[in-house]
Amino acid sequence: MSEPNQPGSRVLHVFNNILANTTEAAELPPEVPSRRWMYWQMTLAVTKKVAHAPFSIHTWAALRRTVLANILPDNIVYRYKAYQRGECNRCGLCCKIQFQCPFFVDEGPFNTHCSIYTTPSAPQACLKFPLDPMDLRLLQREVGNACTFYYEGAPQTLSILEFVKLYTQGVRQQFAKRKLKEAPDSGD
């Protein structure tokens, strides 16, 4: 029997995938120096939004979008997506309404992007924008109809009972997804 420390021999650790359940953090884009900096910038942005709240309708729309995107399940949040038309023209105006977002990268006219959009730390309000026609209307009011998104039609209005049914169904789906992510991979 050979010793595991001899050159050329390999030790196969069968249980590494079960015991060492460490998930590596996603790589940050080059525009973001560190996670600490990123979270500090997010804190500053939220503070600025709250400070502007008494003076701007846009701040209330942004807070509404943040609350809805984080609290409601996806089946309710995405109800209007089937009726949404247009696409982002990358003008970046939505990222510069009251102040320039710290994650906004401007590479020329109509060539902008968010430095954290593809990371797990991206705000849900940004990922799910626009939520509904009201959300888009409040943005268009601020940027002067520069955004190319628009809606054709609308889903049916929900009664309170239908809303509760959809909400509980969505919450169950989210818990099922979370359990699937947490379940260990089988060795089949």
Q: Is residue 6 a part of any domain in this protein?
A: no
Q: What is the pLDDT of residues 10-56, one digit of tens each?
A: 544 444 444 444 455 567 777 778 888 888 988 998 888 888 778 87
For residues 8 and 31, which has the higher predicted lDDT (pLDDT)?
31
In a domain? residue 168: yes
Indicate the residue type of 187. G
Question: At residue 151, does pLDDT exceed 60?
Answer: yes
**Residue, of 18 and 153, whose pLDDT is higher:** 153
The answer to whether residue 146 is domain-embedded is yes
pLDDT band at 83 (very low <50, low <70, confident <90, very high): very high
Query: Is 76 a residue whose pLDDT tops 50?
Result: yes
Q: Which two tokens stand for residue 81?
A: 């997506």
- Residue 19 confidence (pLDDT): 44
Number of domains in the chain: 1
Q: From the centroid of its chain, how far is CA 92?
A: 17
Q: Which helix (H) or strand (E) holds 36?
A: helix 35-52
Counting beta carbons within 10 angstroms of the beta carbon of residue 116, is it exposed (0 to 12), middle (13 to 18) or buried (19 or more)? buried
The answer to whether residue 69 sits within a structural domain is yes
Position 5 scores a pLDDT of: 52
Flag whether 17 is in a domain: no
Query: Is there a domain that residue 60 lies in?
Result: yes
- What is the 3 state secondary structure string of 81-93? HHHEECCCCCCCH
Of the candidates 152, 151, 132, the residue with the CA atom closest to the CA atom of residue 61? 132
Report residue 91: phi and psi, to 5°. -75, -30
pTM above 0.85, yes or no: no
129 inside domain:
yes
For the ranges 11-20, 64-73, 74-83, 131-140, the lowest mean pLDDT is seen at: 11-20
pLDDT of residue 25: 58
Tell me, yes or no, whether 113 lies in a domain. yes
- Find the domain containing 158 and state its range: 26-181
Digit-coded pLDDT (tens) for 100-145 = 888 888 888 778 888 888 888 888 888 888 889 998 888 888 888 8
Helix (H) or strand (E) holding 151: strand 150-151
Question: Can you spell out the DSSP letters for 91-149?
Answer: --GGGSSSS--TTEEE-STT-EEETTTTSTTS-HHHHT---SHHHHHHHHHHHTS----
